[in-house]
């Protein structure tokens, strides 16, 4: 676990407790996915990032966004769902690298993203209804999107600039 907390207003202990809670949900309700996650990634990094999460293939690391973990207006289920989603990307990456020789195109990215969303949907359905409802709602909405919307091309420089603007506004 690699915590890179750039926000003095967010307590490390709170973030680590939420991460532990989210991983516990995956382990309890989707033990096979949890075993895959443990096998397919080298670690989890928590830091400020323009999206909820990402899989960093060069490092084989799942990144979870710091402020997303710190939020208390949502349960740990959406956090767990995001981690599980990125874990599916890790599994696909390993398969693609070892079996398919690394093939990757826009069409396969949309397919991959839908696979991740279906895993989220299954996870949400395995949770108690109150915990699973927001996970199911978000995954189902994503699955209804067109390919270019479900796996959009992200301008990371623009995304980071927007995040920096938000952080500057927060700091006055």
Q: How far apart are CA 129 and CA 70, in angstroms?
A: 23
**Phi then psi for 148, rounded to 5 degrees?**
-70, -15
* Enclosing domain of residue 70: 2-155
Is the residue at 108 inside a domain?
yes
CB-based contact 112:76 (threshold 8 Å): no
Task: Retrieve residue 80's tokens.
Answer: 């767990």
Is the residue at 93 inside a domain?
yes
Ranges of the chain whose pLDDT falls below 70: 97-107, 152-156, 159, 164, 170-172
Is the residue at 16 inside a domain?
yes
Report yes or no on whether pTM surpasses 0.85.
yes
Is the residue at 30 inside a domain?
yes
Domain count, the chain: 1
| CA neighbor of 93 nearest in space, from 65, 66, 62 | 62
| CA neighbor of 84 nearest in space, from 118, 108, 50, 51 | 118
Predicted pLDDT of residue 100: 56
CB-based contact 150:117 (threshold 8 Å): yes
Predicted pLDDT of residue 101: 56
Predicted pLDDT of residue 146: 85
Is the residue at 95 inside a domain?
yes
Is the residue at 85 inside a domain?
yes
DSSP state of 64: E
CB-based contact 36:91 (threshold 8 Å): yes
Predicted pLDDT of residue 121: 98
Is the residue at 161 inside a domain?
no
């Amino acid at each position: 676990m690699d915590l890179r907390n750039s926000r003095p207003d967010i307590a490390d202990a709170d973030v680590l407790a939420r991460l532990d809670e989210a991983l516990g949900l995956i382990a309890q309700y989707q033990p096979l996915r949890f075993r895959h996650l443990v096998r397919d990634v080298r670690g989890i990094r928590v830091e400020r990032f323009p999206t909820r999460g990402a899989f960093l293939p060069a490092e084989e690391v799942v990144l979870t966004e710091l402020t997303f973990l710190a939020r208390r207006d949502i349960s740990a289920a959406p956090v767990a769902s995001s981690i599980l989603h990125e874990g599916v990307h890790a599994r696909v990456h390993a398969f693609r690298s070892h079996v398919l020789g690394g093939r990757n195109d826009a069409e396969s990215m949309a397919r991959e993203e839908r696979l991740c969303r279906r895993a989220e949907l299954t996870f949400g359905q395995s949770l108690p209804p109150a915990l699973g409802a927001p996970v199911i709602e978000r995954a189902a909405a994503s699955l209804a999107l067109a390919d270019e919307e479900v796996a959009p091309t992200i301008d990371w420089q623009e995304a980071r600039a927007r995040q920096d603007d938000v952080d500057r506004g927060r700091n006055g």
